Chains A and B, each alone.
Chain A
Amino acid sequence: MARRTSIRGPLDYGKSPWLILFGFVTFIVLYAPIAQLIVFSFNDSKRNIVWRGFTTKYYAKAWNDASLVEAFTNSITIAVMCTVIATIIGTATALWLWRFRFPAKAAVEGIMALPIVIPEICMGVAVLVLYSRVGHWMRGFESGPIYWWNELFSIWPLNLGAITAAHIAFSFPFVAIVVRARLIGFNRELEEASKDLGASEWQTFWNVVLPFMMPGVVAGALLSFTLSLDDFVITFFTAGPETNTFPVKVYSLVRRGVSPDINAASTVLIVITLVATIIAMRMQAPSKSEG
């Protein structure tokens, strides 16, 4: 009597020592390279293998590298512009697909998901071809409105417009998905109640629908920010010599080898994306419990 042979129930797989060990090893393998990258950005050694004391000199070095700073500024600028526009377009699209029933809706939804599912490289080369065509056609104008338009788009930050437009194209469908997921939890009777009480379409949107979907909008915005900041492939095909972004710049450096200043710059980018991601997840978390 009063014995206790097995503490684990038949479905207590979470307590299996093998599974715990497996998970532990996987997490270590997943994080060790990133941890090493961050740690060695503070290492006072060029060789990057043995710890030779703490230093921030590589951050200073990266900071003083004008082309690196320019690429970094470009990346942030593109990400901010992309976030603003992709959030607006994505939110509108989410509202559209959530609210209306129309012919060929399933096909539209499928096409909207395409930028998410097709290999990045396909989209990269497609945008490259588009811009080369448009550029080729525009160069034919020596004066006139198209010429001036051309001139205008060579001024910062409008010269980043081409890259930004491509970023918007692949990030707004993500925003739409996140916002639409949030809208599924919305009780449409609230909207009807608002209109019943005399509010207009716009007043109802502004006072009832928007506050409800705000967490989804913010999460979508942060998502598009990280997507834009992280993108390498599409930028790689659309960036010109004047419009390097940080990942493209790092790529050219990485091809030459491992160096601590890349570690330093990468660490900064990691911190920025992770902060944005964690905020986005925080914003999304309560939506589940409310729904």
Chain B
Amino acid sequence: MTKPIISIRNVTKRYPGVVAVDDVSFDIMPNEFFALLGPSGCGKTTLLRMIAGLETSGTGDIIVDGHNMEGVPANTRPVNMVFQSYAVFPHMTVRDNVAYGLKVTGVAPADIAPRVEDALEMVQMSAMADRKPDQLSGGQRQRVALARALVKRPKVLLLDEPLSALDAKLREHMQLELARLQQVIGITFIIVTHDQDEALSMADRIAVMEKGGVRQIAGPEELYEKPHSRFVADFIGKINLIDATVSGVSKAGVTCVANGLGTVIVPHDGAASGSISLAVRPEKLTLSAEAPPPGSGISAKGVIRDVAYYGDVSNVFVTCDDGLELAVNVQNDRAAAGLLENGREAYASWHPSDTLILQE
């Protein structure tokens, strides 16, 4: 079994009046692309900065490659960071920026130049080595920041919202680029982001954080398909959450009375009791003009309230009995053509096995 490259053990960080990081523990494996995902203020950046040694140490242990980082100052930790603002030194050329980290740690001058060239090559910035940062675009500055951190050959690369300052198109490109770089270099990346698409598309594993705590750690698919909580389900993608009360548990699944749906049976492995939420992704729902044949799944009759057109798909909002609102993703094919009209009656239906039961 491989040893984790980073172990976070019961790390807590308090600011006056607020707990930024609340008793967090997890391991990150070597060569992993790990994402800390959560809304702003959830403590993800604080945690990243604690790993870097830039934040006052709280309580708990941060172990990097077997060494406890307690009391180790930022400048001697075997991790490097790409800052949200990139923090590319404006008074130095691209080359000097990349060489800085080697120069200040006493790397022999003869070794610096080839390493800098390699790093610039890796991020395709060799041609701009003599430029000053103010002559670079945002994306180019980010490449410099990447090269500057990677040239140090850190055990772990930390990236603080690295793509948030880029426009949408460039962001998509850089997502692929980062994933490629991580593959090539083969070191651990920890990325902090509030953008779920970014985390889902790049990371091997994602820790979803809320209010200083980690809510779930899983791979992208598991996180999307099997969220553990309402928060995670709601934060990762769009989802319909339906209040329900459990009335019985059997081999067939959980029997419950759901708001607007009546009594339904949902296949479920674990235990369930009391009030729960039924969760189903909008793309699992189908919309039809006729009532689906009985026994073919869960369905609800309602009125189309709003249709948001996105080209290939439309997001349709259906209001059902008891004020239940369902969002349905409809492929804009021929079948949908006549159906999507405000005020029209329609049936939203889905397979019971696409339904998740969320206890909290």
Contacts and interface: CB of A to CB of B under 8 A. Distances in A.
Q: Do chains A and B touch in the complex (CB under 8 A)?
A: yes
Interface of A: 1-12
Which 4 A/B pairs are nearest by Cβ-Cβ distance?
Answer: A9-B56, A5-B71, A2-B59, A10-B74
Contacts of B56: 6-9, 12
A1 B61 contact: yes
Instruction: Tell which of A3, A7, A8, A11 has the most Cβ of chain B within 10 Å.
Output: A3
Contacts of B43: none
A218 B10 CA distance: 56
* Size bracket, chain B contacts: 10 to 19
Contact of B59 (A3, A10, A12): A3
Nearest to A2: B59
Nearest to B50: A9
A3 B10 CA distance: 11
A6 B57 contact: yes
Contacts of B10: 1-2
Contacts, number: 30
Given A1-B10, A1-B60, A4-B59, A10 B71 contact: no
B54 A10 contact: yes
Interface in B1-23: 9-10
Contact of A10 (B9, B53, B58, B70): B53
B73 interface: yes
B55 interface: yes
A5 B60 contact: no
Interface string B54-78: 1111111100000000110110000
Contacts of A1: 9-10, 59-61
Contacts of A12: 56
B54 A9 contact: yes
Contacts of B55: 9
Contact of A3 (B53, B54, B70, B74): B70
23 contacts: A1-B9, A1-B10, A1-B59, A1-B61, A2-B60, A3-B59, A3-B70, A4-B57, A4-B59, A5-B57, A5-B70, A6-B56, A6-B57, A6-B71, A7-B56, A8-B56, A9-B54, A9-B55, A9-B56, A10-B54, A10-B73, A11-B54, A12-B56
Interface string B93-131: 000000000000000000000000000000000000000
Instruction: Tell which of A2, A4, A10, A12 has the most Cβ of chain B within 10 Å.
Output: A10
Contacts of A11: 54
B291 to A, nearest CB: 57
Given A1-B61, A8-B56, 16 more contacts: A1-B9, A2-B59, A3-B70, A4-B57, A4-B58, A4-B59, A5-B70, A5-B71, A6-B57, A6-B71, A9-B54, A9-B55, A10-B54, A10-B73, A11-B54, A12-B56
Main secondary structure of the interface of A (DSSP, over half): loop
Contacts of A7: 56
A115 B95 CA distance: 45
Contacts of B53: 10
Nearest to B75: A10
A264 to B, nearest CB: 47
B342 to A, nearest CB: 38
A79 to B, nearest CB: 45
A247 to B, nearest CB: 44
Interface in B128-151: none
A7 B15 CA distance: 12
A139 B60 CA distance: 88
A5 B72 CA distance: 10
Nearest to A5: B71
Interface in B158-217: none
A168 B224 CA distance: 72
A74 to B, nearest CB: 52
A76 B53 CA distance: 58
A51 B351 CA distance: 95
Contacts of B60: 1-2
Nearest to B56: A9
A6 B116 CA distance: 34
Nearest to B59: A2
Contacts of A9: 54-56
A16 to B, nearest CB: 14
Contacts of A5: 57, 70-71
B86 to A, nearest CB: 18
A90 B281 CA distance: 66
Contacts of A6: 56-57, 71
Contacts of A10: 53-54, 73-74
A6 B60 CA distance: 13
Nearest to B12: A2
Nearest to B74: A10
Contacts of B70: 3, 5
B81 to A, nearest CB: 12
A5 B58 CA distance: 9
Nearest to A15: B56
Nearest to A11: B54
A200 to B, nearest CB: 46
Instruction: Tell which of B57, B59, B74 has the most Cβ of chain A within 10 Å.
Output: B57
A3 B68 CA distance: 12
B97 to A, nearest CB: 20
A103 to B, nearest CB: 30
A11 B75 CA distance: 12
